[in-house]
Amino acid sequence: MTMSDDDILVPRKSRSGSRSRMGSEARGPIIDQEGHEIRPETLDQGFREFRFEFGKDNPFGNLTREQRIARLEAIAKLLDVAFILPGTNIRYGIDGLIGLIPVVGDIITTAISLWLVREARALGAPWYITARMLGNVAVDGVVGMVPFAGDAFDVMFRANMRNVRLLRRWLDKQPRM
């Protein structure tokens, strides 16, 4: 027995004769997680009324240009030079550590690096700066896929620090407003 397209696209009628919908067969009020009653007519609006309030300390709010650059520099340092190999002067970051996980680790760190490039573009970096940044990320991502040797390359190449340095040099040449 096969279903017709009408049965798939149109909900079946309930035993009472009306079409079944989410909440129409429920008995009693609909309560949210905080214990407040939700009016049934607002359920049809979906997530249009959904808001997430951080209050006055919104970490994703309107940051100044300098705050965004400081955030990029902090993430780049975490990815590339956050730790020192004991007994040596070799610095490495979580890019080298996560990169030890074959393929998945390199994909994760490349995605974070691409986010840094996106943020640079949002700060107004021109195409030639973002192209060089993308080149650094591509080299880091492709060579990083090679087991162990790629991880050593990640530690020495430091693509994210190079990218932030490129961005900072370009920003320093821009007139202050």
Tens of pLDDT along 69-99?
A: 999 999 999 999 999 989 998 999 998 889 8
Percent of the chain clearing pLDDT 90 (strictly above): 41
Instruction: Report the DSSP beta bridge partners of residue 91.
Output: 84
How far lies 160's CA from each of 35, 72, 177, in Å?
A: 46, 9, 27
What is the per-residue pLDDT for 23? 44
pLDDT interval class at 68 (50, 70, 90): confident
Indicate left, alpha or beta for 115 from its phi (over 0: left) and psi (-120 to 50: alpha). Answer: alpha
What is the per-residue pLDDT for 45? 55
pLDDT surpasses 90 at 114: yes
pLDDT surpasses 80 at 122: yes
Mean pLDDT of 124-145: 93
Q: Which residue has the higher pLDDT, 175 or 170?
A: 170
40's tokens: 């049934």
What is the per-residue pLDDT for 76? 94
Which string of b and e fits 4-43 if b means at least 16 CB within 10 Å?
Answer: eeeeeeeeeeeeeeeeeeeeeeeeeeeeeeeeeeeeeeee
**SS3 at position 168:** helix
Distance from chain centroid for Cα 139: 21
What is the per-residue pLDDT for 150? 87
- CB under 8 Å to 12, separation ≥6 — which residues? 19, 20
Stated pTM of the model: 0.64
